Structure 1
Amino acid sequence: MNEERSRSWEVVVVGSVNADLVVGVERRPAPGETVLGSDLATLPGGKGANQAVAAARLGGRVGIVGRIGDDGHGELLRGALAADGVDLAHLTVTEGAPSGVALITIGPDGDNSIIVSPGANARLAPEDIAAAADMIGRASVVSFQLEVPLPAVEAAARAAAEAGARVVLNLSPPAPVPDELLGRCDPLVVNEHEAAYLLGGARESAAETAAALVRSGARSVVVTLGAEGVVVADGEGASAVPSPKAEAVDTTGAGDAFTAALCLRLARGDSLRDAARYATRAGAAAVRKKGAQSSYPTPDELPDPPGE
């Protein structure tokens, strides 16, 4: 494969593009209960778009493959991606479907709860992947999540692997993963809940969880642990990577910032552990500000690694 062609994009993201409708609450309502919240904020989001913006803001050459609706939210989303320099050649406007929307409530501790209405994201299909074959084939790393239909993810992962790109899958929201797709993941990125779903139950430690996922077929694994950092694993073993300390204001999209930074550093030749060490800094920076994309750091805004 021609080396110059392979590096036209450092990261290509195949994934969701949503408008985030965000309300802060003192507590979440019980069934049948109404509570008052803060003013509604409408912000650009979606796991795919978040990862694309985060990687671009860190200086990456980034493209996205996804779908938006022909509506006001779609205009907002396209504008936000363009502002950070993401290549939009394969961001398709879908007639007859609204843009995806995420309904987000944020508690006083900064933790969030999210309901996603996929909208146009649910129309992403293998035909879209075929149309984007040139972009996918010229990427160093191709990143996926599961807010878009699995057939599109499978088609894109297959195309990426055949072109020699590294495949990174963030198993969010959790869903069954075909063996062929799992075997392409290098790494599979999961939190503890997603890992337990895939394994059919929790393990005693994150290291055991990561090792079990490698045995299940993933080439490598990253288990994210929030403020505690991550555990990375491959066929040679597992190791912990701590995260910088950060006072959480809003955790929305922090996992996407982590995954984006991980992909970018892998595209630039870092080992999985070194890439994860860099990515924890991006995740820690993101929780310090409100919003998803609005919280993503530039390289100069990254906190120092733990111990420095």
Structure 2
Amino acid sequence: MSEAICVLGALHMDLTIEVEHLPSVGETEIGKGLEVHPGGKGATQAVAAARLGASVSLVGAVGDDGWGADLRSALLAEGVNLSGVVSSSAAVTGVALRARHASGESATVIGPGANRMVDVAVIEAAREAFAHAKVFLCQLEIGEDALSAAVELARASGALVVLNAAPARELSREFLAKIDVIVANRREGARLARVEKDECSDSGLMRRIAALGPSKVVLTRGKRGAMFFDGERTFEQAGFPAERLDSTAASDAFCGALAVALAEEQRWDQALRFACAASALSAEVQGSFPSLPTRDVLEPRL
């Protein structure tokens, strides 16, 4: 039987244009083509976990429009339970506008749209999804009140609470003390710890984050892999070689895979290896959903 995971997060339509140069302030860049794919950190992490064999429920919101319908269809096709996803006629479906460089790096602007409609009432209505979850996975694209209510509900249900601290923002010690596992890159981790990005080493940054309350800290390091700290031990997992075409969903592939590994009660060294392999595979394919690996693709890479 597949392990149950509940994901709370944003649902967007991703509009991506490839550019030769990522524009800075005041610049206009003419790109090549337009790709339209389902996305949003919540939706992408949910699909990442589902493709790796988990039974996944998603909590979030879309607009009562064509893009909302497209997102629902794409998620249902992946086997994601959408009983916790509401449709709002008061807002359009969220959109992410992305400029992507040939190197795989990108710059993104998000219009949250209906994702702002996710409130405590939406969380309460999704109690069933939380009740059956072994792991609860969330990010920071959802409002604070809804996120706090969801974490409380997940804890009360006995789920392991995993927070991907993206996009970067400061969080209270009271909230962070309720998190079992926090996943962040250096920029996100520095924002959490209220230090400059290069002020301390990776291990030092993890210790500062852990001092704020989370039981375990995972620091993602792109193609260099990831590091782990649980208050006592620190270890590294090297990244997997990859031909990096598009890093858009690499971190979401990592988080979805990590949630699956933890739900399966893999050892931490195994879980980080599993997640790093998923991240590397994602970077080799363009587009958010298209890049997320299945178990059949991931296990040979391991």
What interval of TM-score do these two structures reach, taking the shorter chain for normalisation? over 0.9
Greater shift after overlay, 266-275 or 285-294? 266-275
8 A contact 1:168–1:187 mirrored in 2:
yes
8 A contact 2:104–2:247 mirrored in 1:
yes
Deviations 1:100-135 (A, max 9, x none): 100111012110111111000011001111111121
In the TM superposition, residue 183 of structure 1 has moved relative to its aligned partner by: 1.3
Identity of aligned residues (%): 38
8 A contact 1:9–1:138 mirrored in 2:
no
In the TM superposition, residue 8 of structure 1 has moved relative to its aligned partner by: 8.3
Give the equivalent residue in structure 1 for 2:96.
Answer: 102
The whole-number CA distance in structure 2 between the counterparts of 1:176 and 1:151 is: 15
SS in 2 for 1:139: coil
Give the equivalent residue in structure 1 for 2:138.
Answer: 144
Q: Indicate which of 86, 91, 97 corresponds to 2:85.
A: 91
Which structure 1 residue ranges, 4+ long, deviate > 4 Å from structure 2? none
8 A contact 1:211–1:237 mirrored in 2:
no
Give the equivalent residue in structure 2 for 1:16.
Answer: 10
Count how many residue pairs are aligned between Structure 1 and Structure 2: 299
Q: Indicate which of 27, 41, 44 corresponds to 2:21.
A: 27
Give the equivalent residue in structure 2 for 1:272.
Answer: 268
Give the TM-score normalised by the residue count of structure 1.
0.94
Give the equivalent residue in structure 2 for 1:285.
Answer: 281
Give the equivalent residue in structure 2 for 1:207.
Answer: 203
Give the equivalent residue in structure 2 for 1:112.
Answer: 106
Q: Indicate which of 176, 182, 195 corresponds to 1:182.
A: 176
Mapping of residues 121-140 of structure 1, within 5 Å: 121-140=115-134
Q: Indicate which of 18, 31, 38 corresponds to 2:32.
A: 38
In structure 1, runs of 5+ residues without a counterpart are 1-6
1:163 aligns with 2:160: no
Deviations 1:35-85 (A, max 9, x none): 210111111000000000010011110000000001111011111100100
Give the TM-score normalised by the residue count of structure 2.
0.96
Residue 285 of structure 2 aligns with an amino acid whose one-letter code is: K
Deviations 1:132-161 (A, max 9, x none): 112112100001101111111110001101
Residue 248 of structure 1 aligns with an amino acid whose one-letter code is: R
In structure 2, runs of 5+ residues without a counterpart are none
8 A contact 2:170–2:194 mirrored in 1:
no
Give the equivalent residue in structure 2 for 1:297.
Answer: 293
The whole-number CA distance in structure 2 between the counterparts of 1:300 and 1:237 is: 32
